[in-house]
Amino acid sequence: MPDPIDIQLDLEALAGLELFLSGALAPDPHFRLEGHPALEPGARVLLRDPNNVRLAEFTVERVDGGAALGPVALIEPPRHADFAAFRPAPAAVRERLVAMGAVRVAALAASGFLTVDDEAPLRDADAAVLHIVEGGPVDHFPRVRAAQIVAERYLDPARVILNVLPPLRTAWRDRVLRNYGATCIAEPAETGAYRPEVAALAASFLPPPSERGFCVWFTGLPSSGKSTIADRLALELREAGRRVTMLDGDVVRMHLSKGLGFSREDRDTNIRRIGWVASEIVRHHGIVITAAVSPYAASRDDARRMVGDAGFVLVYVSTPAEICEQRDVKGFYARARAGQLTGFTGVDDPYEPPPNADLVIETAGTTPESAAAAVWRLLRNRGYVS
Ligand code: ADP
């Protein structure tokens, strides 16, 4: 038998494996691995964590919509040095709920600090499972601490089970929560005051919006105006005394992504790299502006997930294709039309317009200054700038 193929899982795939192994994704009979289009049925894969620890062997049984599916044989469960006591398996949680005699079980998956408004649905049920989801704008350490305090001092601690979940895809949430015993799922409250102990933690770990990091992610066809508007915005932020990192598509390809081409896979890799760097900058409360074509919805969504929804502003520069081609700032449209360049977005490679842009800018008939002003208004509405 040939040696298995080695795959190092990223954090999201690792979360998927961990949830699958724990039973949180039941009744899925198979592990599902996305983002590896070369995998074919019959392939044996050695799954490694981001630090290359061997976790499981995965046998691809079938391929479906870009994902490889099949059984996994565990080698070593993913390790967590933090909060081991708060990572029970779903079956163990359900057993505890049965032992409590709980019929109505509320669940909340929290990505932020709990507010007073989050408490009511947890208090109203026979028992509650409070899930602290890793990832997002605030580290999970202070959020677990805050949840412990809320459970102990403001809820009935004998009726609340705390659980730390790996970064959770929205599509998985309800199933995972039900597998952990929920009969009703509460939505995180959008507003509401913090308990004083939580407010103190939030104050030191979650600065006010005007001191928080964020990412403005420009997307659009080549020559649509991304770099021009991004440069203008960066200038204005710098003039206002803020520090800005600019990740321009062409510049990134000179160093961070040097050597990558324009195949779908290389483009995805390029965007994920930019997304990863952006997420690190935002995590450390910095401002980052990206201006890469980023033509595919899936990799833009990955970037949004990496950075965290709260700190991510997607700006679609929606200049019509004909105008972009007339502008042809770098002369690439002409070369693509002449057949000297293949796989050029807008000519012979697709651009998927974002359905989920936070702002759409029509540059035909406007100036870069007024386009940048529209972005500024959005940032001001979110409290990021004054
Ligand atoms: P991209 O980064 O999207 O490839 P560029 O910013 O390099 O595009 O080029 C856009 C071109 O369009 C520039 O020459 C710019 O002067 C011109 N342009 C005209 N109107 C606008 C506008 N409202 N916003 C941005 N660019 C504009």
Q: What is the pLDDT of residues 155-188, one digit of tens each?
A: 999 999 999 999 888 899 999 999 999 999 999 9
Per-residue pLDDT for 209 more than 90? Answer: no
pLDDT band at 283 (very low <50, low <70, confident <90, very high): confident
- The pLDDT of residue 2: 77
- The pLDDT of residue 138: 82
Given 224, 227, 279, 294, the catalytic residue: 294
Higher pLDDT, 55 or 137: 55
Q: Is the CB of 230 under 6 A from ligand 1?
A: no
Q: Is the CB of 223 under 6 A from ligand 1?
A: yes
C-alpha distances in Å from residue 43, one per residue of 39, 46, 61, 71: 7, 10, 8, 11
HEC string of 91-128 equals HHHHHHHHHHCCCCEEEEEECCCCCHHHHHHHHHCCEE
pLDDT band at 303 (very low <50, low <70, confident <90, very high): very high
Q: Is the CB of 232 under 6 A from ligand 1?
A: no
CA of 384 to the centre of ligand 1 (A): 25
Pocket test for ligand 1, best of 289, 329, 330, 370 (most atoms within 8 A of CB): 329
pLDDT band at 12 (very low <50, low <70, confident <90, very high): confident
CA of 74 to the centre of ligand 1 (A): 52
- The pLDDT of residue 236: 97
Pocket test for ligand 1, best of 228, 326, 345 (most atoms within 8 A of CB): 228
Taking alpha carbons only, the member of 194, 176, 175, 187 closest to residue 110 is: 187
- The pLDDT of residue 65: 86
Q: What is the mean pLDDT of residues 327-348?
A: 94
- The pLDDT of residue 50: 87
CA of 271 to the centre of ligand 1 (A): 21
Q: Is the CB of 228 under 6 A from ligand 1?
A: yes
pLDDT band at 210 (very low <50, low <70, confident <90, very high): confident
Which residue puts its alpha carbon closest to atom 14 of ligand 1?
A: 329
pLDDT band at 286 (very low <50, low <70, confident <90, very high): very high
- Average pLDDT score, the chain: 94
Closest ligand 1 atom number to CA of residue 218: 3
pLDDT band at 134 (very low <50, low <70, confident <90, very high): very high
Per-residue pLDDT for 137 more than 80? Answer: no
Q: Is the CB of 225 under 6 A from ligand 1?
A: yes
Which residue puts its alpha carbon closest to atom 25 of ligand 1?
A: 225
Residue type, 214: F
Per-residue pLDDT for 79 more than 90? Answer: no
Does 257 participate in catalysis according to the annotation?
A: no
Which residue puts its alpha carbon closest to atom 1 of ligand 1?
A: 223
CA of 288 to the centre of ligand 1 (A): 20
Per-residue pLDDT for 301 more than 80? Answer: yes
